Every structure is written in C-alpha cells, then in structure tokens.
Structure 1
Amino acid sequence: MREFTVPPVEAAPQVGGLADAVFAHALADPGRIAFGRKGPDGEWRDVTAARFRDEVLGLAKGLVAEGVRFGDRVAIMARTRYEWTLFDFALWTLGAQPVPIYPTSSADQVLWMLHDAEVTACVVEHEDHAMTIGSVIDRLPLLRRLWQLDAGAVEEVTAAGAGIDEEVVHRHRRAVTPETVATVIYTSGTTGRPKGCVITHSHLMFETDMVTGRWESVFRSRTGEQVSTLLFLPLAHVFGRMVEVAAVRGGVKLGHQPVMAAAELLPDLAAFRPSFVLAVPYVFEKVFHAARRRAEAEGKAGPFDKAVEVAVAYAEALEQKAFGRGPGPSAALRVQHQFFEKTVYGKVRGALGGRVRHAMSGGSAMDRRLGLFFAGAGVTVFEGYGLTETSAAATGNPPERIKYGTVGQPVPGTTVHIAEDGEVWLHGGQVFSGYLNDPESTAAVLNDGWLATGDIGSLDEDGYLTITGRKKEILVTSGGKSVSPGALEERVRAHPLIAQCIVVGNDRPYVAALVTLDQEAVEHWLAIQGRPPLAPAELVRDPALETEIRRGVVAANTLVSQAESIRTFRILAHPFSEEHGLLTPSLKLKRRAIERAYATEVAALYG
C-alpha cells in the first residue's frame, strides 16, 4: 500500500486560540480539578479550573505591564513544572509566542535560538540558567526582560499587572485566530544546527482534538473517576507540549514531574496515581527491567519469565482476534494469565501508580515484545509516530485494533504516503508552517502541504505504518550493502545489560557496533553472581560480560541477512551523554559526533 488516510473525527477549529479553553472550562465548571500541583513539602494539592483561569489572567496582565505584546516571542528555559504551563497559557492569551529551550542547552545553543527567534524576554528556572543567558546577553540586543521561576517570577510579574484592566487581556485574546503563530519549537539538531518549527494555534488545536477524539477511551472517563496524567516528558519537546495542551483542552487533570529518573519519578507516580501516562520507550524499558531485577533478587526469576511469556502470548492472541485471525486466548492461557495477575502484573502496574490502564509511547521505536508484555500485564500501550514538524503525533495505534511493532494508522484527518524511494510523506492539519527564517530548508521538506519526513517506512494492507530508518542514517558498506541501523540498535538495546547501541559500517567492509552498559543492571548482574562491583575499565574487559553482550548482538542479527549483521562490537566504559554532545536533549544519538569522539574505537573494530 502506498497511501492511507483516516478521516477527521471532528471539524478543524475555525475561530479562537489555545487559551480560550482555559476560560471556557472555568466558566462551565469552575470547581473541576484541572491540575495537581506538588508543593515544597512534597504534598500534591488540587488546582481548580477557576483558580487556573485566575492565575493565567493575572500573569497575562503582568506580562502586558512588562511590555509583552501580541506576536512577541518569549523563551522558556526550564524543566517540566506547573509554572511553565502557566506561562504558556498566559502568553497564548496575549497572542505571544513561547519559545521552549531545553534546560540542558549550552550557551552557544541558547544564543543561536534566542537570536534566531528574535526573543524579547526570557523565563528561566534558576540561577544557573540565568547565568547561561547572562553569558551571551551582550549579543542579544532585543532581549529586554529576564525572569527566574525559583526567584518568584510568577508573583513578581503578576504583581506588576495589578493595575491593568482585564479587558486589555481579553482584547488580545479575541484577536487570536487559528492561523496565529502559537510557538516556535526548535528541532533537536541530530545532524546540524537546530531549526525553528513555526506552529500555529490551529496546528496544536487540530492535533490535540483529533488525538483526544480518536483515543477517547484514554482521555475521557466512563466510570465517573477523573482522568489524569502525570507529565514527565520535557515541555521543551513537542510531545510534552502536545500532552500539556491535550490535557487542558480535554479536561484532564494534569500533574508535572521534572525528573524522568526512576528514583524520583516512581514515588510521584505512586502519589499522583495517574489513569494514563505518555512516555518514551525508555521509561517502559526501565519499569520492565526493574521488575525483572526485583524478581531475580527474590529468587523468582523463573516465575517472572514465565509470567512474561504468558503475558506476551495472551496479548498476541487478543491481537489476532482483533484482526479476525484467531479466536483469542484459550481457556488454559486465560487460567495462566489470571494466576500471574496478582503476583506479577499487578506489581508492574503498581510501579506506574496502580491506576494506569493506558499509555502512549512515542519519540522512538518500541520493541514489539515489550508492548505485548505491557498489554498482557494490563497496560495497553498505544505506540505512535510524529515529528516536531507535525506538532507531535501523525500516526498511532487505534484503541480497538493494535498492531504491536508498528506505529499505527494515521491520526484522524491525516494522510500517510510512501514515496517511490520509501520516504514517508505526511499531510494533515497539524503539519507546521515552515522553518523560521529558513525558506531553503522549508522548501526542501514542505511541498503543497506535504511534509517529506526523511524517515523510511512502509504501509501494510491495513494502513499501519512501520518505520525502518532515516534516509540520512542508511549505512552503505564498501561491498555496496545498504543497512538501516535503527532496527538493529533497538534489538541490541533490548538486552537488559545494554543501555545504548550505535551501529557503524559506512564505507567499511562489514557492520559493527559500539555498546554502552546500564550500570544499575550490571551491578545487579554481578551481585546475583556473587561477584564484587567492577570499575568501568575492568567491566569492558570482563569475559563473562562480553559473553552476555554477545547474546544481545546475536539476537539482533536474527532480524537481518548475514550481509547486514553485526560482525563485531566493542563495549564502552561510559555511556553517551548530552553533556558530552553525543545525545540530543530528547536522547537521540548524534551519530557523527559519536563516531568522531570514538574514532579510535571504531577503527579498532576493523583492525
């Protein structure tokens, strides 16, 4: 199949902007709980729709008093927190354009984005961020204001607007149309300098309305219990931004968590108890591997592995039934599944807070077996696909018929087309307007509303998309064999001891790989064997560890032909990190930077 379209579930918005939902919800149901907000004491407190409206209005008045006007761009550089959402909607109320900046961005990156976007004011989280801005401020003549959240920015700006009439704010809000620019989001820059994606109010309204309408079972409750989600994705990323907007427009109770590390995230999941989560595959992998290690430490690895097999088989049987290709789980399988419900599956759900029954995954590919396991354990994960240029999701697995290992069908109102060379093209109401100040790059990817994604993929007979790689990342060996590294890397990473994998081999005689270790998993593995901890330099030379890693590589090689298989690999002592310029803020590999940094190790693979 070359092209597939899913019709829209409702009409695209014709009037207004993103902030209108804040005022409409407060008018219709002022006492509804809109947010859960974690206080300095660690306790979660409710914020009503009316309270949020009042805070947005007060902040918007303050922004007017501070000189922010319709069309101005204001950068926000912070982790995921309530105040970011407050500033977003206050700025959207005025027709201003928030420009998200990753909190880990370097001074050079900050300078480029603030200069390119002609930012006139900036909100930062703390003093370190303020110092980063301060180090380049002499080269930003348009930057007039700098506010610091941890120094009381919300209170300071709100107080400044005490004398501003509310009608001034509402005049701004009424001037916003769907075509008004809502935000400029910079791409993560895996292959070069970040580009600013211009996204309108219409793009985000279309995207979130289609997603919440199609996945109504996730975003709307049928039991009377309020639907809620804990947002721990970075709000500087388009996926996190989409979740924020979908929650506010859809009436979902939203909480914020700034740290994705398990030690801080899991306690907040337990306290907030969301009904669904939206995450990247990394989070689901962490939950699974932690559960596996816990079972192993308790001497229950065998039963856990059996529970995994049963969950996968159970979910596969339901998948086949949904497509009319089987009768569903057998009686014996249902009995086995019920047996493991309390001992294993309930504990896995408990790690996500206990109430989660649905999840959405994006950002990178999720292993089919991992998705099947979570489904069998009672958490249905809808895997999807999108880009900054599509305001987040362009495809997703539909609730009633999930194909694990694919990224699903087009979001309603969207068309997926596969070009002659296998490139994925997208068309829909969420496709961006172009790159800021860069007509040449815009023309290269946008043609008559069609976005050339740069991704390679295929559509099956049911219109489900599978992404197989990036055009720019295809390796060609010296023997002329084309290899897409993504699927291989994903499968290698499925091994519990492996954190990251990069496949190399361009203009080389064969394919090889560099792998990094999951330190927590390795420490557990050594302890189970009764061995003491090893220093990184000792680990990379450990024969038993090399044997384990080889198993992961061999498993990955079963996916491809011999000419495409990984012939050799090297274990690295330290993981690829954003701090060293080897990962983007969204944790994608910077391939060229990694190959430059590890040129000696890559050369040794072919010695």
Structure 2
Amino acid sequence: MFSFNTLPELLHYIKSSTDNPTYLSYLENSSWHHFSSQEFAVYVERLAAAFAHHGVKKGTSVAIVSASSPFWLMIDFALQRLGAVSVPIFANISHENLHYELKDSAIEYAFIASQEKYDQLEKSLKNMKLIVTLGITPHLDNVIDFDLFLNNTYALPAVDVSPEDVATIIYTSGSTGKPKGVELTHKNLISQIKDVQLAIPITSDEVALSFLPLAHIFERMVVSYYLANGISIYFADDVKNVGNLIKELRPTVMTVVPRLLEKIYTKMHDTIYTLNGIKGLIGQGALHRANTKDVHTPLNTLDKLAQQLVYSKLVEALGGRMQYMISGGAALSPAMERFFVNIGIPLYQGYGLSETSPVVCVNTPDAYRFGSCGKKLSSVEVKLTAEGELLVKGPNVMRGYHNRVEETAKTIQNGWLHTGDLAYIDDEGYIFIKSRLKELFKTSTGKYVSAIAIEHHLTHSKWVDYAIIVAENRPYVTALIFLDPTMSSESFEHYCSEPKTTERIQQLIGQVNKHLNAWEQIQKHILIQTLPTIDNHMLTPSMKISRNTVYAYFADEIEAMYHTPSTNLGE
C-alpha cells in the first residue's frame, strides 16, 4: 500500500523508488523521445523553483492549456510541489468557455502549448503575470519559453502541502449552461491511486498508451496511477494515429472510451466481411459467436477453434499483449463489452464523475460482472435513494464547486454526493447504472423512456455518429440523427439527402424498434445536416453531445415532428 498522502509526497516517492529509462515518451517528427523517471523528478523540481521565483505560491491558480504530453505532467507536478492549483483547459474548448474558465478561476499564470489558443487569448494574456510557452511563437513581453524556464538555478522553497489543500480545479463539460469548476484536493486524488492499487494492481513492466486528454480527470487519475507504479507511458500524437501506435507499441494496458471501441469494432467486422470463401464463412461465424455468446459461460470446442483461427488475429491487431482495457467517460454498450470480452480482450467498465475524482466503482480481474460498472472502490460508500438515485460518500468526493456555494450545497448533502444517476446494486455489490435522472423521460401518455439506451442502439451503427432522443412530455418518441461524415467522400449535405442514406437510416430505426417496448419506439426522425462541434456548443470539450444545446438549436425541426400526429403512437 502506498504511504504518500499528497502529490508532492508522490513526487518524492517517484524520485526515490522508480528507475525507468522510458518513463514518459512522446512523438516528435515521427520519432519517439523519452524521459526517465529520474529526469521527470528533476525537471519537475526545476520548474517548481522557476514558478516560485516568478511569484507562484501556495493557492495560486495556474492554467494548463496544452494537449497531453510529458510536459503537461511536469508542469502539473511542479505546481503541486508548491501547493499551487492547476487548472487544466481542454485543447478543443470553445473560445467563449475558455475565457470564462480563466476569469472564473482568476488565472494570472499559464502554461500554453497551443498556438491557436495563444492567438485566441493574446489580448487576455497581456494582463497576466507570466506565460510559459512550448512550441509556439509569442508576441508578448510576459512570455518565457519552456526550455529557458526549465534551465534555471533558482532555489526550491519548502512548502507545507496538506491533504486537504485544493490541488486542481477541473471544469466539467458544461452540457447545460456555463462550465462548473470542480475543486479536488490532494486527498481526493491520492485516495483514488490507493483504491485503484487495491482493485487493479499493476507492475512496472506494463506499457501504457495514453491518448485521452489529461484535462479530463479520468485519464489524469489513471496516468497518476501509472506514474506511482513506475510503468512506461507513451503519449499518442493524434487520436487518429492510435490504431497504428497500438500495433507499434503493443501496449499491455489502455484506458479507452466507448466511441473508440465502436470504431475498432466496425473496422474488425468490415475486414472479416471482405473475406471470401471458407475464410469468410469461418470469420463471419466467429463474429456471430463473439457478438452473441454469454461472457460468463465456459468456452466450448467451437469457441476454442474460433479463438485459434479468428480471435487471435483480432487480438494481434490490438498489439497482441493487451492484458485489459478500462472503459470510462461514457456508458459502454452491452454489445461492445460482449464482443471484446469474447474475443479475448478483458474490458472493464467503470463509473464515476469529475465530482468523485472520478472513480466510484469499476470491474476488475477478480470481480467482474457483465453489464455492470463493477463494485465500489474500497474507501467509497454508496447507497440509493427511494427513487433509485446513486449517492456517494468518501475521500474521493470533491470539496465543492468553485465559486458556487449554493450549487455545492444542493449536490452534497450530509456528506453524500447526489450523482444524478439512477442505479441499482445487486446482492453481491455490483453497481448497474440505468440512466441519468434527467435522461429518463416521461411522455405525455405517462410512459417512461430511457433516452440513453435508445441512443446507444442507434450509435452502435457505423453510420451514426451521435443521436438525440426527444420524448419528455411528448406524445411519442422522435430522434435527431447525426451521421458520421467519414463514411462518405461526398459533400456532407449531399450524403445526408441521398435516398440510399435515408433508406439505410430508416432500416436502422426499424431494427432498433424491434428491441424496444411499443411506447419507446421511434416514430419520426430527422437527419441533421449540421455537424456538431465545440464552437457551435453542440459538443462539449470531452466530445459528448450536449442535449439541451441540440434541443435549442433544432427547436423548430423538433416541433415540426409533432405538428401532425404519428400514425403509430406505440401505446
């Protein structure tokens, strides 16, 4: 069990207990560059000394505006060494929210490794005390290059950092209204590392590929856990390059999001279905088995044959050494979980929130149940309200929302954080998330509709990028469909209006409706020809669709679907 209780103590542990020459690696000009664990610790202390020299002290908020990289981590740990507060900013955040977050957290110092964001912020940056930049061309006097900032001989001050001190402010996606700043303490973050060590122990021999943003608390916590265990971490240069990097690096562990799994799933199926003759028949039969077999039933002779002839090649496409993948950030569909587990890739779904640092529960090698989010972490308490809402209590629960006392009081009552998620807990303690309280819609006929479940059915198709269900206080269910623009080389508008596209989506909805109760079935739909983006606010920085923004954006189109009664109300 780890003995450190703050992030500075974790840094000391890394310095004294790890010795990994490829601790942190990144791509530059198609070549890998490595930092050893000792270099990481030394550079963090140099950066901390430089920040202190320029006025950063305990409690100072400093923005990190950068894609994920070893430099991101160095800056963050340097700030933690001083008891400062790091404020990560998503690289793809909208201009409006970027300015809001900097103002809300009273930023006077920043690390920026994005020319685009630097240019957007240049007017605001003029009034800041110091900007540390990496790989960009600045035009201000209060800017210093990262390498120059690093190479200093300043003294590193002693700072007393308490587990109760705020370590970071994480701004939530802001799917409704302005983003909320979640204040997480050293205690919050360290409790996660210790709990995950008990749940999913790893050794320093593991190799991790990281491609999710460190600005998201899920990846940040996991990477902190990797750092504590001294494993080799490789940062992807581009999410589009992840497939190639998996084959090159052959990672043993990865954190993933369901959307990536869906892309991999589709590519594997498309590859198999291009095969002809006996190979095609065997491949398609194996895929059918992987898509339908109960994951908890023992392997039979045909399963073992499929493993040898088909699944082993699919596993090799994921590097061939993958011990497991952890899925988070969004709900994992049963179809994705069933497929990957059946082909021999353990896939462990967890559940959490930014407000819980983030993990509440997770499946593990020793405690796995299909369809669940696993059992709670050891230091976490959970219970359900009479309505079935999941409540969480423990050292992982945030201190509160930054500058939002009333909202904090509504969210945390008597120490229990209200997650807003409906769940049930089975007799063995496995937690199953059913839906968001706000995403269980009640139609005007009094029937309840789980929007998320239906949307998952739709986005399981390779043709659909996003889907939004409309049902609250409506006589029947309708859908807004966002097609995947990468599935056609034609203009997106032409692609959406093609008869074959319309027919394809109509068939998909027909298939989805077969699995739904009559009142849940989609009666009408619209193919949306406007791509959702961060800038138009239909996508959050974590690439989730913003339901309320979409509703507002297409209010007229939604009303048109209810202007005339549906011919089949599904009652």
TM-score (norm 2): 0.91
Q: Which residue of 2 aligns with 1:496?
A: 462
Contact 1:488 1:559 in 2 (8 A): no
Q: Which residue of 1 aligns with 2:258?
A: 281
Secondary structure of 1:506's match?
A: coil
Which of residues 451, 457, 462 is equivalent to 1:485? Answer: 451
Structure 2 counterpart of 1:579, which letter?
D
Residue 511 in structure 1 maps to residue 474 in structure 2: no
1:32, distance to aligned residue in structure 2 (A): 5.1
The 1:471–1:258 alpha-carbon spacing in structure 2 relative to 1, beyond 3 Å, is: farther
Residue 156 in structure 1 maps to residue 139 in structure 2: no
Contact 2:87 2:170 in 1 (8 A): yes
Q: Which residue of 1 aligns with 2:72?
A: 84
Q: Which residue of 2 aligns with 1:268?
A: 245
Show CA shifts across 1:347-387 (max 9, x none): x3344333222000011111112112111222111001100
Show CA shifts across 1:377-418 (max 9, x none): 221110011000011211111213422222121122212211
Q: Which residue of 2 aligns with 1:413?
A: 379
Secondary structure of 1:150's match?
A: coil
1:107, distance to aligned residue in structure 2 (A): 3.1
1:559, distance to aligned residue in structure 2 (A): 4.2
- Supply the distance in 2 between the matched residues of 1:478 and 1:135 (Cα, whole angstroms): 50
- Supply the distance in 2 between the matched residues of 1:248 and 1:394 (Cα, whole angstroms): 21
The 1:545–1:107 alpha-carbon spacing in structure 2 relative to 1, beyond 3 Å, is: closer
- Fraction of identical pairs, as percent: 27
1:237, distance to aligned residue in structure 2 (A): 0.8
Contact 1:491 1:555 in 2 (8 A): no
Contact 2:63 2:107 in 1 (8 A): yes
Show CA shifts across 1:483-533 (max 9, x none): 22001101111112111110012232100101122233x33xxxxxxxxx5
Matches within 5 A, 1:456-475: 456-475=422-441
Secondary structure of 2:26's match?
A: strand
Contact 2:125 2:131 in 1 (8 A): no
Matches within 5 A, 1:8-27: 16-27=5-16
- Supply the distance in 2 between the matched residues of 1:105 and 1:541 (Cα, whole angstroms): 31
Q: Which residue of 2 aligns with 1:526?
A: none
Residue 200 in structure 1 maps to residue 156 in structure 2: no
Show CA shifts across 1:317-361 (max 9, x none): 5x24xxxxxxx12234323332323xxx42x33443332220000
- Supply the distance in 2 between the matched residues of 1:283 and 1:577 (Cα, whole angstroms): 18
Q: Which residue of 2 aligns with 1:370?
A: 336
Matches within 5 A, 1:58-69: 58-69=46-57
Contact 1:287 1:351 in 2 (8 A): no
Structure 1 counterpart of 2:203, which letter?
R
1:303, distance to aligned residue in structure 2 (A): 4.1
The 1:484–1:206 alpha-carbon spacing in structure 2 relative to 1, beyond 3 Å, is: same
- Supply the distance in 1 between the matched residues of 2:34 and 2:490 (Cα, whole angstroms): 47
Secondary structure of 1:508's match?
A: coil
Secondary structure of 2:350's match?
A: strand
Show CA shifts across 1:241-287 (max 9, x none): 112211111222112224222xx222222333221110110111111
Secondary structure of 2:331's match?
A: coil
Residue 250 in structure 1 maps to residue 229 in structure 2: yes
Structure 2 counterpart of 1:288, which letter?
Y
Which of residues 178, 182, 187 is equivalent to 2:167? Answer: 182
- Supply the distance in 2 between the matched residues of 1:557 and 1:135 (Cα, whole angstroms): 52
Contact 1:229 1:276 in 2 (8 A): yes
- Supply the distance in 2 between the matched residues of 1:399 and 1:101 (Cα, whole angstroms): 33
Structure 1 counterpart of 2:44, which letter?
V
- Supply the distance in 2 between the matched residues of 1:601 and 1:27 (Cα, whole angstroms): 61
The 1:564–1:598 alpha-carbon spacing in structure 2 relative to 1, beyond 3 Å, is: same
Residue 290 in structure 1 maps to residue 259 in structure 2: no
- Supply the distance in 1 between the matched residues of 2:107 and 2:93 (Cα, whole angstroms): 16
Q: Which residue of 1 aligns with 2:290?
A: 311
Residue 428 in structure 1 maps to residue 394 in structure 2: yes
Secondary structure of 1:469's match?
A: strand
Structure 2 counterpart of 1:133, which letter?
L
Show CA shifts across 1:301-325 (max 9, x none): 65443222233455x25x24xxxxx
Bigger relative CO (Cα 8 Å, ≥ 6 apart): 1
- Supply the distance in 2 between the matched residues of 1:403 and 1:496 (Cα, whole angstroms): 27
- Supply the distance in 2 between the matched residues of 1:515 and 1:545 (Cα, whole angstroms): 12
Which of residues 542, 557, 567 is equivalent to 1:601? Answer: 557
Structure 2 counterpart of 1:575, which letter?
L
Show CA shifts across 1:217-253 (max 9, x none): xx226xxxx2021111111111121122111112221
Q: Which residue of 1 aligns with 2:527?
A: 571
- Supply the distance in 2 between the matched residues of 1:231 and 1:285 (Cα, whole angstroms): 18
Residue 117 in structure 1 maps to residue 94 in structure 2: no
Contact 1:540 1:546 in 2 (8 A): yes
- Supply the distance in 2 between the matched residues of 1:338 and 1:301 (Cα, whole angstroms): 15
Show CA shifts across 1:78-98 (max 9, x none): 111121011011111111111
Which of residues 235, 238, 245 is equivalent to 2:214? Answer: 235
Which of residues 24, 28, 36 is equivalent to 2:17? Answer: 28
Contact 1:391 1:430 in 2 (8 A): yes
| Stretch of structure 1 that moved more, 473-482 or 409-418 | 473-482
Q: Which residue of 2 aligns with 1:385?
A: 351
The 1:451–1:559 alpha-carbon spacing in structure 2 relative to 1, beyond 3 Å, is: farther
Secondary structure of 1:490's match?
A: helix
1:16, distance to aligned residue in structure 2 (A): 4.3
- Supply the distance in 1 between the matched residues of 2:317 and 2:134 (Cα, whole angstroms): 31
Aligned residue pairs total 554
Contact 2:65 2:114 in 1 (8 A): no
Secondary structure of 1:19's match?
A: helix
Runs of 5+ consecutive residues of structure 2 not aligned to the other structure: 137-143, 564-571
- Supply the distance in 2 between the matched residues of 1:45 and 1:116 (Cα, whole angstroms): 36
The 1:420–1:16 alpha-carbon spacing in structure 2 relative to 1, beyond 3 Å, is: closer
